[in-house]
Structure 1
Amino acid sequence: MHRSGLIELETVLAVARHGSFRAAAKQLGMSTSAVSSAVAGLETRLKARLFHRTTRSVALTEAGQRYVQRIGPAVAEIRGANEEINSQPEAPSGTLRINAPGDAVKMIFEPLLLEYLHRYPRMKLDIVSESRLIDIVADGFDAGIRLAEAVPQDMVAVPLSKDLRMVVVGSPAYFAEHGKPRTPDDLTGHAAIRMRLAHGGLYRWELERRGEALEIDLPPRLILSDLHTLRQAARAGIGLAFLSEWHIADDLASGRLVTVLDDWCPSFPGLRLYYPRHRYVPAGLKALVELIREKTIGHRAAR
């Protein structure tokens, strides 16, 4: 990064990404004072304040937000050009930054990412797990992972998983006491365990059969924001939950959870790795895409 001559811009992007001078310094291999000095020097030349600073937090100003949005793609292009000149196709090196939901990372970590690190010892992975959908270019990521339906249309999308399915489940003890719903209308008589999304709203249960689509918005008995605890609550018989079949495969196999309304729970296209279509693709990302296409989990062609 130092050789690229972009130290101040890279520093601003790192501080914006982490919301912290200390965390940015750790990522960049610099001292906190050097990071602060680089940002201050750039602000002086721009004659604009890029960050609000307090003893507890660092946040972009309005001008800083506009600046970061503009320079992010440009810096990524220059960084990519430098990597293209210096990289060796047969032995990619450098850092690959990926943004993905935590559950997606769990799904592909062992079958894919560990294999990638073993195969390419000169590569480093920087994976940021978050559920909100971001602009991977503006935020300085090489690639993102999301469900196929959430991938922007101007991106290259590489299949990472087979089709997935969300299912309505409950414990045997819960059904023994409350009975099983036979139709979506029957759900109104049952307790619901609901998931709170990153933006604060509750995830509605999306059911569909023969072209009829429903969004079920049941009054929750319990609201949670992580899938592991939601799964535990369902197993404990607190109520019905709407979960990915992949996430609860062990519970379904063992009988700890039981599905209902299966004919209202169709499958849908699964996870995709995606990256900008009209930009230089780093050697490390090319290597990951090639590995995905080797694996059975990535058997379809990119769109």
Structure 2
Amino acid sequence: MKTRASLQELEIFIAIARHLNFRKAAEERNVTPSTLSHTLSNLEQRIGVRLLSRTTRSVSLTEAGRAFLLRIEPAMVDLALAVDELNDWRSEPRGTLRLNLPRSAEALYLRTLLLPFRYRYPDIALEVTTSDSFVNIVESGFDAGVRFGEAIPQDMVAIPFGPKICGAVIASPDFIARYGAPQHPRDLVNFSCIQHRFPSGVNYKWEFNDNAQPLEVAVKGDLSLDNDAMMIEAASDGAGLAFVIKGMAQKRLDSGELVEVLADFAAPSAGFWLYYPGRKYYSTALRCFIEYLRNFNQNFDNQAAT
């Protein structure tokens, strides 16, 4: 009786074990959930060991499944790296780079950073997923993620992702003409503000710098949105004051469609960071992107210095 498992079966088992969800594992493997279930059932039947406990609501590893996963996963990683290292023999690297970004980072850097990387390495497939909530990039199958520095897990390696950015309080000229402009961040409690709601349901406290001291203001307003692009649209329509990444509103500020207030109280600039697991080996696609990003940052710094 044949008890060996094929490479495809092992990859499918690892995908299911990673997600503990057939639909998500099927999306990763680009097959149907029924195909995954059928493949795994055949493997369990052939080897005579149950690897997963399945109910209508949940999927979990059996004790044997956990032991099997710990045994084969390092070997599968080594095998994938061995295949990936063949890129060193090609004139142009190949592979797939999977990134998870906040929507604001994608809006800022799609044209200036991500697409140029794609043009530089045409044989590397770039898969970008946007999410403003925290994502476990390892469990979700991403090579790397992008977040603000304070949101990055301590066990990750991180490098700057593009230049630093700053926030700005914006409004339409009509809004300012009708209601006036705040002169100090504490005045914001008397104005209608567009709330920025995080995926957790918590509203963002607007951050300022008052005489070199950090200042947070919990603003008030009846409109809550969850991303800068929509807040810029709403502010342009006169819905209230909004706190957004300045670079995303720069064209409208330059055209006069929007105006900035409280600029003298702007908090120190911050920036996005690319982060990835602190392991010794990376895929060729990720190594190429890290090198490209370092050069991008260095070129920007050199231009800023001249």
Say whether the fold is shared (TM-score over 0.5).
yes
| CA distance in 1 between partners of 2:215 and 2:31 (Å) | 53
- AA partner of residue 173 (structure 1): D
Runs (5+) with no aligned partner, structure 1: 54-58
Shift of residue 149 of structure 1? Answer: 2.9
| CA distance in 2 between partners of 1:209 and 1:62 (Å) | 53
| CA distance in 2 between partners of 1:77 and 1:260 (Å) | 52
Q: Deviations over 1:212-252 (max 9, x none)?
A: 22221122221112332211111111111111101101111
- AA partner of residue 286 (structure 1): R
- AA partner of residue 270 (structure 1): G
| CA distance in 2 between partners of 1:112 and 1:135 (Å) | 23
Is residue 2:147 matched to residue 1:143?
no
| CA distance in 2 between partners of 1:181 and 1:75 (Å) | 61
Q: Percent identity?
A: 29
SS in 1 for 2:214: strand
1:81 aligns with 81
Q: TM-score, normalised by structure 2?
A: 0.81
Shift of residue 47 of structure 1? Answer: 5.4
Residue from 6, 11, 31 that aligns with 2:10: 6
2:38 aligns with 37
Answer yes or no: is the 8 Å Cα contact 1:159–1:297 preserved in 2: no
| CA distance in 2 between partners of 1:76 and 1:260 (Å) | 55
Shift of residue 75 of structure 1? Answer: 8.0
| CA distance in 2 between partners of 1:79 and 1:131 (Å) | 33
| CA distance in 2 between partners of 1:50 and 1:211 (Å) | 57
| CA distance in 2 between partners of 1:234 and 1:15 (Å) | 40
Is residue 2:217 matched to residue 1:213?
no
| CA distance in 1 between partners of 2:223 and 2:75 (Å) | 45
1:243 aligns with 244
Q: Deviations over 1:21-47 (max 9, x none)?
A: 3x6545424344321213445777345
- AA partner of residue 258 (structure 2): L
Is residue 2:173 matched to residue 1:172?
yes
| CA distance in 2 between partners of 1:5 and 1:271 (Å) | 38
* Mapping 1:255-266, distance limit 5 Å: 255-266=256-267
Runs (5+) with no aligned partner, structure 2: 1-5, 302-306
Shift of residue 142 of structure 1? Answer: 0.9
Answer yes or no: is the 8 Å Cα contact 1:174–1:239 preserved in 2: yes
| CA distance in 1 between partners of 2:292 and 2:249 (Å) | 27
The size of the alignment, in residue pairs, is: 288
Answer yes or no: is the 8 Å Cα contact 2:195–2:242 preserved in 1: yes
Q: Deviations over 1:33-65 (max 9, x none)?
A: 321213445777345425645xxxxx655989x
Q: Deviations over 1:168-197 (max 9, x none)?
A: 111111111111111122112110110111
**Bigger mean CA offset, 154-163 vs 285-294:** 154-163
Answer yes or no: is the 8 Å Cα contact 1:136–1:144 preserved in 2: yes
| CA distance in 2 between partners of 1:47 and 1:32 (Å) | 17
C-alpha distance 42-178 of structure 1, shift in aligned 2 (>3 A) = farther
| CA distance in 2 between partners of 1:206 and 1:244 (Å) | 12
**Bigger mean CA offset, 120-129 vs 87-96:** 87-96
C-alpha distance 210-34 of structure 1, shift in aligned 2 (>3 A) = same
Answer yes or no: is the 8 Å Cα contact 1:80–1:281 preserved in 2: no
User: Pairwise CA RMSD of aligned residues?
Assistant: 3.2
Q: TM-score, normalised by structure 1?
A: 0.81
Shift of residue 264 of structure 1? Answer: 1.6
Shift of residue 280 of structure 1? Answer: 1.0
C-alpha distance 76-105 of structure 1, shift in aligned 2 (>3 A) = farther
| CA distance in 2 between partners of 1:43 and 1:298 (Å) | 54
C-alpha distance 93-294 of structure 1, shift in aligned 2 (>3 A) = same
Shift of residue 198 of structure 1? Answer: 0.8
